[in-house]
C-alpha cells in the first residue's frame, strides 16, 4: 500500500492499514466488534470493514482516516464507529474518494459518532468521486449533555448518483454546527439531513451550500425537529450555473415544544449579471469570474495541512 500519507486508518479497496494515535484506539471495525463487547450496543450487526476510533484522552494531534477506491467495479461497505469519551476534545479529518475517474465503484458507507458528556469534536469530511461511481452514505451523530460538534462535509466532485442521510440527536445543553457543501456536475444528488433537539437549551444549526453545474440535479431536504426547549436554524442556499441543472431545496421546521425557537432561510438562484459585469471590469474573463464567485460561495480555503503535510483529497 503506497501513498497513505499520515493517516491513522487507510482503506484502499479492501486492504487496510491502521496507525495508533496518542489518546485513541484505532482498529478495523470487525476487530473492535470482536475485542470490545460494549461496541455491540452501537453496531447493529457485525461489520465487514470500516474503522473504529475510541478517543479516551484529548490530543493536539488530529486523527485522519482515508477510504479510497482504486480498482474497477469495487464495492465497499465500511461501517464506522467513533466514540469520544467524557470531557475529551478531538479533531478528525476524513477523506473518501475514487483514485481514478472511470472505476464504476460502489461505496455504501455508514458512520455513527458518539459524543459523551461535555466532549468536543471537530469533524471534516472531504469526498471526491468518479463520474461512473455510485455512493450511498449514512451518518448518525449522538451528542451527550453539554457536548459540542462542528462538522463540515465537502464533495466538489460528485459521482453519477449519490444519496446521503444524516441524523443528529442533541441532549440537554449540547450543540451542533453542521455544514454540507456540494458541487454537482453531471450527477444526481439526494440529501436528507435531520437535526433533533431532544434536550433543553440544545442548539442546532444546519447549513447547506449547493451548486448545480451542467447536467446535474440536487434534491436537498433539511429538517430541524424540536422535541424540547431548544433553538434551531436551517440555512439552505443554492446556485445554478447551467440551464440543464436543477436544485430542489426543502427546508422543514417541526416544533413539538412551545418553548423552542426554530428559524430557516432558503434561496436558489443564479449569479447576477451585475456581479459578473463588475468582475469582468476588473480584468477577469467570464469563466474566471464564475470560478471566483463559486469559490466564495463554497467557502473555499487553503488546503488542509496537518503537521506540515497536506491532507490528500484527490489521490
CA distance 44 to 263: 34
Q: Which residues of the chain have pLDDT under 70?
A: 1-5, 299-315
Q: What is the pLDDT of residue 5?
A: 55
CA distance 300 to 61: 23
Q: What is the pLDDT of residue 306?
A: 37
- b/e 2-38 (16+ beta carbons within 10 angstroms → b): eebebbbbbbbbeebebeebebbbbbbbbebbeebee
Interval 234-254: pLDDT, tens: 999 999 999 999 999 999 999
Q: What is the pLDDT of residue 284?
A: 80
Interval 126-137: pLDDT, tens: 999 999 999 999
State the sign of the Cα–Cα–Cα–Cα dihedral 74, 133, 206, 11. positive
* Closest to 179 in 3D by CA, of 124, 258, 246: 124
Q: What is the pLDDT of residue 294?
A: 75
CA distance 9 to 7: 6
Amino acid at each position: 500500500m503506497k501513498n497513505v500519507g499520515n493517516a491513522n486508518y487507510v482503506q484502499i479497496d479492501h486492504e487496510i492499514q491502521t496507525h495508533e494515535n496518542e489518546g485513541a484506539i484505532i482498529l478495523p471495525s470487525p476487530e473492535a466488534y470482536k475485542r470490545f463487547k460494549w461496541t455491540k450496543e452501537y453496531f447493529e450487526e457485525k461489520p465487514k470493514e470500516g474503522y473504529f476510533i475510541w478517543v479516551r484522552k484529548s490530543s493536539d494531534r488530529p486523527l485522519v482516516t482515508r477510504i479510497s477506491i482504486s480498482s474497477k467495479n469495487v464495492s465497499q461497505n465500511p461501517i464506522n464507529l467513533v466514540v469520544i469519551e467524557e470531557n475529551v476534545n478531538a479533531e478528525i479529518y476524513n477523506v473518501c474518494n475514487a483514485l481514478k475517474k472511470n472505476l464504476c465503484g460502489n461505496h455504501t458507507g455508514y458512520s455513527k459518532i458518539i459524543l459523551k458528556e461535555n466532549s468536543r469534536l471537530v469533524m471534516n469530511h472531504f469526498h471526491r468521486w468518479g463520474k461512473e461511481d455510485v455512493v450511498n452514505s449514512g451518518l448518525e451523530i449522538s451528542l451527550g449533555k453539554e457536548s459540542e460538534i462542528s462538522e463540515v462535509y465537502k464533495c466538489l466532485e460528485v459521482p453519477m448518483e449519490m444519496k446521503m442521510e444524516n441524523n443528529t440527536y442533541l441532549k440537554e445543553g449540547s450543540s451542533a454546527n453542521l455544514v454540507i457543501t456540494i458541487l454537482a456536475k453531471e450527477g444526481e444528488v439526494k440529501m436528507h439531513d435531520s437535526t433533533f433537539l431532544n434536550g433543553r437549551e440544545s442548539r442546532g444549526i444546519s447549513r447547506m451550500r449547493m451548486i448545480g453545474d451542467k447536467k446535474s440535479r440536487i434534491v436537498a431536504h433539511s429538517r430541524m425537529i424540536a422535541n424540547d426547549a431548544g433553538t434551531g436554524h436551517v440555512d439552505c442556499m443554492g446556485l445554478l450555473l447551467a440551464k440543464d441543472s436543477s436544485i430542489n431545496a426543502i427546508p422543514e421546521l417541526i416544533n413539538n415544544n412551545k418553548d423552542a425557537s426554530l428559524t430557516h432561510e432558503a434561496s436558489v438562484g443564479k449569479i447576477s449579471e451585475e456581479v459578473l459585469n463588475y468582475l469582468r471590469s476588473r480584468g477577469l474573463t467570464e469563466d474566471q469570474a464564475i470560478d471566483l464567485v463559486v469559490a466564495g460561495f463554497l467557502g473555499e480555503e487553503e488546503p488542509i495541512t496537518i503537521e506540515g503535510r497536506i491532507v490528500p483529497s484527490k489521490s
